[in-house]
Structures are given as C-alpha cells and as structure tokens.
Amino acid sequence: MAENNENNVYDPQKRERERTFVSDIYSSKQYLRIAETIASDEILKQSKGVGIIKQILLRSNSTAYSIQVIVDNETIWDNTYAFFLANTADIVGVSAYAAGGRDFLTLQDLYFQKDFQIRIRPTTSILWDVILIRYDIRDEIMLKEL
C-alpha cells in the first residue's frame, strides 16, 4: 500500500471495487414553427453542447431568402435558396425542390462539438408553412459501481 499523503491512501482493492463510468446519451429535440411570417433577419435556433443537426426543413411559397448555419463558430452554410436549388444534385445532405406550389429546402447531418446557430434571412416577408429543426444533443451521465 502506497501513501500519497496522510489523508489519501491508495488502496488497490478499493480501486477495483469503485469505478465510475461515463456514458453518452443523446436526447432528440425538435424546434417547429407552423404558418408563421418572417419579414427580417432572424435566429431560428441556437444551442450549446455536442450533437448532430439531423434535419433543417423549410417549406414556403417563396424562394426569396438565404439561410446561415454556424457550427462551432464556423459558417457551414450562408447561401440563398437559389444556390441550393442549382446544386442540390451535387451536394450530399442538401435537397431543394418545388412541389405542389411550395418550395422545400432540407439540410441534413451537421455535427457540432460546442454549439450551433441557424439564421434565416428573407429578402421579403415570407409565410412559412413549416420550419422544422430536428437535432440530437448529448447528455453525459455518470454511473458509479461499488
């Protein structure tokens, strides 16, 4: 038995009996806005932690906007709907299209280690049918075994 100081004695048998496990559990979250008008630059959602933005879905009758996604203080996307529409076939995790008189934009699978922020920048007032942001965020738990 080795002593670190008189109050803290190293005991290998006790060390074998007491272990702490750290486990990552992810909580699924959702931010949803339905039938809302946005006329100016607005932060839709921001969060701190570790996780993944599984999906950003924007559905409206207008393409007159841009979206900015900042992950861990780095701008990942800062582009117009027109950019996404023109490049949707070539960019993994991006889908922009028109259907049923509505315009859709989906961005998927954006991992973050510290935080994220999603901002919408309409050039005119837009009625959004759906704004949906689905993300998973890590919750760390500790389990102690005696």
Q: Which residues pair with 112 in a beta bridge?
A: 51
Distance CA 62, CA 81 (A): 9
Let me know: does 90 contact 20? Beta carbons within 8 Å: no
pLDDT at 137 over 60: yes
The whole-number average pLDDT for the span 78-104 is 96
Distance CA 104, CA 66 (A): 13
Give pLDDT, residue 8: 59
Report all structural domains of the chain as residue ranges with CATH numbers, in order of start: 24-145 (2.60.120.1390)
Give pLDDT, residue 23: 64
Q: Is the dihedral of CA 52, 83, 121, 61 positive or negative?
A: negative
Q: Tell the burial category of 22 from Cβ atoms under 10 Å away from its Cβ (0-12, 13-18, 19+).
A: exposed
Q: How many CB atoms lie within 10 A of CB 66?
A: 18
Whether pTM exceeds 0.75: yes
pLDDT at 69 over 80: yes
pLDDT tens for each residue of 107-128: 999 999 999 999 999 999 999 9
pLDDT tens for each residue of 25-61: 889 999 999 999 999 999 999 999 999 999 999 999 9
Give pLDDT, residue 96: 97
